[in-house]
Amino acid sequence: MSTVPRFWRHIPQRYNLVGTHCSKCDEYYYPPRTICPNCRRNAKMEDHKFKGLGTVVTYTTIYNATDDFKRQTPYNLAIIELLEGPRLTGQVICSPSEIEIGMKVKPVFRILGKEGDRGIIYYGTKFVPVEGSI
């Protein structure tokens, strides 16, 4: 149960890719940071909602997963560089033969995981190829 409060705190960043932006040095952060490492005490941090458009930097395809994710295999985990700069890890929903480095992706709202049959359902952002998506 200890993961529930952690998930709850992360809802804005998981549902809507809310990170931060330092208006002093124009650097974007995801996950959000409270302190800008460039500017330290002079930082001017504000919340920033990322559009979620990005590019696949690298990826791996998972063929063997734990019970909770077995039904979804094979699936693609990728490092995605957002338009604004930050990189994050996310699932790209397409066949393993379709994914490639440099692929443009956009965000979708999906189930990230479930705590068994009785626990909480974790929702959040995954990605789909821009090409061929509605």
Partner 1 sequence: MPAGIVSYGVYIPKYRIRAEEIARVWGEREDMAQNLNVFEKSVPDFDEDAVTIAVEATRNAVKRASIDSARIGAIYTGSESHPYAVKPTGTIVGEAIGVDHELTAADFEFACKAGTAAVQACLGLVTANLIDLGLAIGTDTSQGAPGDALEYTAAAGAAAYLIGRENLAAEIEGFYSFTTDTPDFWRREGMPYPEHGGRFTGEPGYFKHVTSATRGLLKKMKTIPEDYDYAVFHQPNGKFPVRVAGQLGFSRDQIEPGLVVPWIGNTYSGSSLIGLAATLDVARPGERIFLASFGSGAGSDAFSIRVCDGIEDIRDRAPKVRDYFENVQYLDYAVYAKHKGKLRL
Binding site for partner 1 (CB under 8 A): 11-12, 15-16, 49, 71-72, 93, 108-112, 121, 123, 126, 132-134
Closest approach, Cβ 122 to partner 1, in A, equals 10
Comparison of 36 and 75: residue with beta carbon closer to partner 1: 75
- CA proximity to 88, closest of 115, 126, 35: 126
Tokens for 69, please give them.
């994710």
| Partner in contact with 38, chosen from partner 1, Zn ion, none, beta carbon below 5 to 8 Å by kind | Zn ion
Tell me the CA distances in angstroms from 41 to 23, 33, 38, one per residue in order: 13, 13, 9
Comparison of 42 and 73: residue with beta carbon closer to partner 1: 73
Comparison of 2 and 34: residue with beta carbon closer to Zn ion: 34
Closest approach, Cβ 42 to partner 1, in A, equals 30
Closest approach, Cβ 9 to Zn ion, in A, equals 23
CA–CA dist 46, 32 (Å, integer):
10
